[in-house]
Chain A
Amino acid sequence: MTAPVTPAAPGAPASPSVDALRTEFGAAIERHLVSCGDTIVYVTGERQHDVLAWLRDTPGQEFDYLTDVTAVEYRDTERPLEVVWQLRSLGRRADLRIKLALDKRQPLEVRSVWDLWKGADWLEREVYDMFGVTFAGHPDLRRILMWETYAEGYPLRKDFPLRGHFSRAEQTRQALAANPEAHYSLEELSIAEAYAELPKDMQERLARGERGFLR
């Protein structure tokens, strides 16, 4: 791991929640830093969900509001990818940023916080869609901004070229050949009992379990 970010506004005090977290979780709190007045706490993957649940439910912390879930990948390819949770306590008017560093040589997987905050539903789907991070425990983890059959990878990763992996000609060819039926999810098709009317290739694709399960 390379050196941590140099804080832009050094000397600003860290949030008092950091000391409380260190007391409660000890070694699971890897390090903390203050940047531009925002406190950032790095946690380990094993305790990430516990830390977030503890911060939400403990009196005196009360981070009841999940402002944002996102991820950061650095230009330095050796540096781990970071998943970021922006927490807020509406009552105490306090913010805290929790980060989890993911080694890019390992599968990118973290625990979902959907069970704590329903607002994490689409946010986690977006991180999955854009960075390829999977959230274990998410009830409906599928692409949200890109379409379901999008095959070029994860757009916000640094190894993804600005114009995409495929050539413009290939992108155009795929767009023109797209089957509008493919934009219905399996869930919707099973409600409409339209599965039997699907084209053969899509039936096969769905049967391979590329997407959800058939009720």
Chain B
Amino acid sequence: MSVRTVELALATPGVDSEGHATRIPLGVAEPPGAHFDEDFGAEHLLVNIGPQHPATHGVLRLVVELEGETVKRVIPHVGYLHTGFEKLGEYRFYNQIIPLTDRTDYLAPMANNVGLALAVEKLMGLEITERCRVLRVIACELSRIISHLVWLGTTGIDLGAYTPFLWSFQERERVYNLQESWTGARLTPSVTRVGGMMADIPDGWEDGLREFLRTFPKTLREIDTIFTRNSIWIGRTQDVGVLTREEAINYSLSGPMLRASGVDYDVRKDRPYLGYEDYQFDVPVGEHGDVYDRYRVRLEEMTQSVRILEQALDKLRPGPINVDDPRVILPPKRRAMSDMEAMIYHFKQVMEGVKPPAGEAYFGIENPKGELGYYFVSDGTAKPVRWRIRPPAFINLASLPRMCEGALLSDVIAINASVDIVMGEVDR
């Protein structure tokens, strides 16, 4: 037995005849390039990322052409989640489209509901009530907070930081609890109706929101502490995926992507809707247009959303949430069951729907992802001729190949995360 062991040891490199490891001096054993394949460097490698990959933030597929570790080209493939929402909308009453908007950008569903209601109200020339405006501002800003929290958490995970993910999802859960107690649904609230809201906030809801607003900034400060001056975070994000001011405009970017590149445009400030001109808040604008600036812009936007929400709670006065127009708003159930006229309106509402006049309207709101626009063409019937969603995430994602040119493969993950896509909206 022992003889065989020695024979094996002799045949094993790195072990001498007595079974001890031979010590090879550190350094190069043979001249560099002795076995170097001339064509090796010239060959481009094709790497497929996704569609089932956690770092693509949904069913996005990227085909990356690499030279070594440098990205020569990125070819994105979208459409895996295509549902045909715009087509479906042409077969539905205006109020029936609201549940579809929940499912486009499913990380900020309440803001989508608000955008759709505002677009139809523009088409009809409806003026909504004061309480409804304030409630919609609350809905929009809560959506901004939860959407940015998802972005922050998942981007942190992509770049190797797990703890902020837990913090941000914990806070997000509290907003979802508020959303659930208001609308009855966590992910698909369908909170608005044309001309008003699905429901008023329940008793005590304001106290819950105030409690959230009191404690949430502490989490934001903790996230700020762990990220903003973190050398790993800075190394992974600064000067990565840079888009200049001119490029950002030329690529039709919107939202935090546009502002991180130094363009001071926010629909809430420049095209105020829902009375945003009466709120005191600042719009953060970046300088470098890189991933780090996009992070700073989104983090600051959450702080500003807290400011807006505090002011909105102060503005919230008792009053009606729906317009006083029986052709648009369903009568209360009790009246519909006891009053003949109310029952007729109820019947016509349910069977025939809201009928805007013939015409067309585009309305854009500042969604967490960017400018979400709804474009309606009506021929005077209860169903739109055309319902177009201007999808901010889709248009922002179109700049991905430009941003990834010359970056490293690992930067592709950071850049893709910084776009803040949600595939439900990209593919619609």
The residues of A with any CB-CB pair to B shorter than 8 Å are 5-9, 35-38, 40, 64-68, 70, 72-75, 84, 86, 90, 93, 95, 97, 117-123, 126, 130, 143-147, 155-156, 160, 162, 183-185, 187-188, 191-192
Contacts and interface: CB of A to CB of B under 8 A. Distances in A.
Interface string B231-264: 0000000000000000101111100000000010
B53 interface: no
18 contacts: A6-B358, A8-B124, A36-B123, A38-B361, A66-B252, A67-B364, A117-B251, A118-B247, A119-B398, A122-B398, A123-B252, A144-B78, A146-B79, A146-B82, A162-B91, A183-B77, A188-B46, A192-B46
B388 interface: yes
Contact of A97 (B78, B362, B398, B402): B362
B259 to A, nearest CB: 12
B49 interface: no
Given A74-B385, A144-B78, A162-B87, A9 B249 contact: no
Nearest to B86: A156
B46 to A, nearest CB: 4
Contacts of A117: 250-252
A187 B77 CA distance: 13
The 3 closest A-B pairs by CB, nearest first: A119-B252, A8-B359, A36-B361
B271 interface: yes
A184 B79 contact: no
Contact of A123 (B46, B91, B122, B395): B395
Interface of B: 44, 46, 63, 65, 73, 75, 77-79, 82, 84, 86-88, 91, 122-125, 247, 249-253, 263, 265, 270-271, 356-362, 364, 371, 373, 375, 377-379, 385-386, 388, 390, 394-395, 397-399, 402, 427-428
A117 B122 CA distance: 28
A188 B375 CA distance: 35
A192 B378 CA distance: 48
Nearest to B360: A35
Contacts, number: 136
Contacts of B359: 5-9, 35-36
Contacts of B123: 8, 36
A73 B75 CA distance: 31
B396 to A, nearest CB: 10
A67 B373 contact: yes
Nearest to A34: B359
Contacts of B77: 183
A90 B361 contact: no
Contact of A8 (B251, B357, B373, B375): B357
A52 B360 CA distance: 21
